[in-house]
């Protein structure tokens, strides 16, 4: 009986203070490891392609792509650093001490929140580009884009340091047994985090994209009206309607995917009093949240023609040729 009890503990030598392991059928455990490892690999690969593309080809050094690059870096780090550790935690045991637990939780929060911040910056960039296209090039420059990216990352580092101050300084007081490593936020910090990393960003994104959509539709209708005046409505009307559908589709994809990935994670915060509850940070909610990092390069980069051209040049190793950075990918 004692050996069985010891086998169920994260630290068998600490019978009275060790957490218990989470046992699952072997087939289920192997399936989960393979599935989550593939998700991590795909996330790293897709975002690495975006990073190489924008960094290598000079034609892609634009303010908008600087924001896409920052988003890809944060999502790349999710796949490279956060997902693998989370895979190891599927057994329910943390074996590397309380300090590394707090450090991992802090880093994961910083990376995830920076991904959200970059999404907001991209929506602002697109808003300015559509609303005021004539002065866009003067208002939005590559240098300003880099400054915004630096401010985004530094703000995430500072903000997460503030809301997790108690966790980082008094980690041992939050865990009831050795081997436990779950996110811990008190009631106030949890409420603030929901507002800052979910309600606030999604509100900004919806408002800006709705405005972009309205302007795009009005421009398409104005084009149809102008063409109708010269009796060419039939030939260009389809293009205008296509533009409307494309704008609506882009808005829908951005908002729906963001909500689908973030709602399962933050929903318990609206119905429970303490975000340290296991339900609030269930494995399923966490992994759905991380899936956003895999989908982001598909949403923000894959549908750009230059991304498909860049992938072809990267996969065929043509980027190793002299002056390949000046290749035409637009």
How does pLDDT run across 168-209, given as a tens digit for each residue? Answer: 777 667 677 888 887 777 777 778 888 888 889 888 988 888
Domain count, the chain: 1
Contact 181, 94 (CB under 8 A): yes
The average pLDDT across 263-277 equals: 61
Is residue 264 situated within a structural domain? yes
Q: Specify if 196 maps to a domain.
A: yes
Q: 2-6, 93-97, 123-127, 136-140 — which is least confidently predicted? A: 2-6
Domain membership of residue 22 (yes or no) is no
**Pair 83, 45: CB distance under 8 Å:** no
CATH code assigned at 300: 1.20.1070.10
List the structure tokens of 178: 């050795």
Assigned domain for 225 exists: yes
Q: Any idea which residue has 């072809």 for tokens?
A: 312
Q: State the burial class of residue 227 (Cβ atoms within 10 Å of its Cβ: 0-12, 13-18, 19+).
A: middle
Domain contains 21? no
Whole-number Cα distances in Å, 167 to 175, 189, 225:
10, 11, 60
**Which pTM value belongs to this model?**
0.84
In a domain, residue 212? The reply is yes
| Tokens matching residue 37 | 């490892």
Mean pLDDT value across residues 246-259: 67
Residue 113 structural domain: 32-326
Q: Decide if 98 is inside a domain.
A: yes
């Amino acid at each position: 009986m004692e050996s069985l009890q010891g086998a169920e503990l994260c630290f068998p030598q600490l019978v009275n203070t060790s957490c218990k392991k989470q046992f699952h059928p072997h087939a289920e455990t192997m399936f989960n490891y393979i599935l989550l490892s593939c998700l991590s690999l795909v996330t790293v690969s897709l975002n690495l392609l975006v990073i190489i593309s924008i960094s290598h080809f000079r034609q892609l050094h634009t303010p908008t792509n600087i924001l896409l690059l920052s988003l890809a870096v944060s999502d790349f780090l999710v796949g490279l650093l956060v997902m693998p550790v989370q895979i190891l935690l599927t057994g329910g045991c943390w074996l590397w001490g309380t300090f590394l637990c707090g450090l991992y939780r802090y880093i994961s929060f910083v990376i995830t929140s920076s991904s959200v911040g970059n999404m907001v910056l991209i929506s602002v960039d697109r808003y300015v580009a559509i609303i005021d296209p004539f002065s866009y090039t003067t208002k939005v420059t590559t240098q300003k884009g880099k400054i915004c990216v630096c401010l985004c990352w530094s703000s995430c580092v500072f903000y997460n340091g503030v809301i997790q101050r108690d966790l980082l300084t008094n980690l041992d007081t939050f865990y009831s047994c050795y081997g436990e490593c779950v996110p811990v936020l008190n009631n106030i910090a949890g409420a603030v985090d929901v507002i800052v990393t979910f309600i606030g960003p999604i509100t900004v994104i919806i408002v800006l994209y709705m405005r972009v959509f309205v302007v795009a539709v009005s421009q398409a209708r104005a084009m149809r009206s102008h063409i109708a005046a010269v009796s060419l409505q039939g030939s260009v009307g389809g293009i205008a309607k296509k533009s409307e559908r494309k704008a609506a589709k882009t808005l829908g994809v951005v908002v729906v995917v963001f909500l689908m990935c973030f709602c399962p994670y933050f929903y318990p915060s609206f119905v429970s009093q303490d975000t340290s509850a296991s339900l609030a940070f269930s494995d399923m909610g966490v992994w759905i949240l991380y899936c956003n990092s895999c989908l982001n390069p598909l949403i923000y980069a894959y549908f750009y023609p230059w991304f498909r051209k860049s992938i072809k040049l990267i996969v065929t190793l043509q980027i190793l040729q002299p002056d390949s950075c000046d290749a035409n990918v637009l």
